[in-house]
Amino acid sequence: MNIVKQIPNSITCLNLISGVIAIIFSFNEQFDYAVLAIIVAALFDFMDGLAARMFKAYSDMGKELDSLADTVSFGVAPSLIGFNYLNGFPDIPTYSSYIILVMAALSAVRLAKFNLDTRQSENFLGLPVPANGLFFSSLITLAYHYPQVANSIVHSGYIIPLLAIFLGLLLVSEIPMFSMKLKSLKWRENRIRYTFLIIIIPVSVAIYLLGIHWTGIISFIFGSYIIANIAIALFRKFSDKKI
């Protein structure tokens, strides 16, 4: 066995372990640590691809293992953060919490589709699972830290489950979504990416300076990513109809 060729798969396993740790933290209602574990998983998810390119260690097994790890870290773990958060409201029906788990299932469907879809080499069709996982988990944790604001919204027991279903549908949708991978530094080829960064960086700094909990920055970045892609898709569709 070539040990060097196993480095990317080893990093992928660290991604999966980070996701499992996030799940453990979520059941202990340590949501900050759970989100941090998901962020660490995202770093490992980035690094395994980098290692695969560096060592030219591409394999079908690595591809499948990556999807399995992402299902745990960015599908199951964020869903359970929402599940355990909602369970903290004793007057909310129990079934509301279980609806959130639909998002975990649709994350697995999204990853299975991605493995078979040759159209997504540069950009995405549907919301990427890591982006969704980071957005949902950080948003729930932000709500946990601001109960005076969140309780009135969450109290019905329907808002978070409906959000999970909506995000799940975005995962398996055919909506084009831009990737943040840069093949060059030219403005013309990356104007959407650069424009996105120009907008979110100063606002993220402002959120930090206002003293809002750090998960507010994470949820803002990925929430903005979702809204921007939906807006672009709607604009293009409307423009095509006018033409």
Q: What is the pLDDT of residues 55-106, one digit of tens each?
A: 777 777 878 899 999 999 999 999 999 999 998 888 888 888 999 999 999 9
Q: Extract the tokens encoding 77.
A: 């773990």
What's the CATH number where 119 sits? Answer: 1.20.120.1760
Asked if the structure places residue 233 within a domain, the reply is no
Does 230 map to a domain? no
Q: Is residue 193 part of a domain?
A: no
Total number of domains constituting the chain: 1
Q: Is position 187 within any domain? A: no
What whole-number distance in Å separates Cα of residue 127 and Cα of residue 36? Answer: 21
pTM over 0.85: yes
Share above pLDDT 90 across residues of the chain, in percent, rounded to a whole number? 58
Residues near 6 by beta carbon (within 8 Å), at least 6 away in sequence: 57
Closest to 217 in 3D by CA, of 127, 107, 141: 141
Answer whether residue 46 is part of any domain.
yes
Q: Is residue 192 part of a domain?
A: no
For residue 119, the enclosing domain spans 4-178
pLDDT, the chain, mean: 88
Domain annotation covers residue 23:
yes
Is residue 205 in some structural domain? no
The model's pLDDT over 112-150, given as tens digits with 9 standing for 90+, comes to 988 887 776 667 888 999 999 999 999 999 999 998 888
Q: Mean pLDDT over residues 155-162, rounded? A: 85
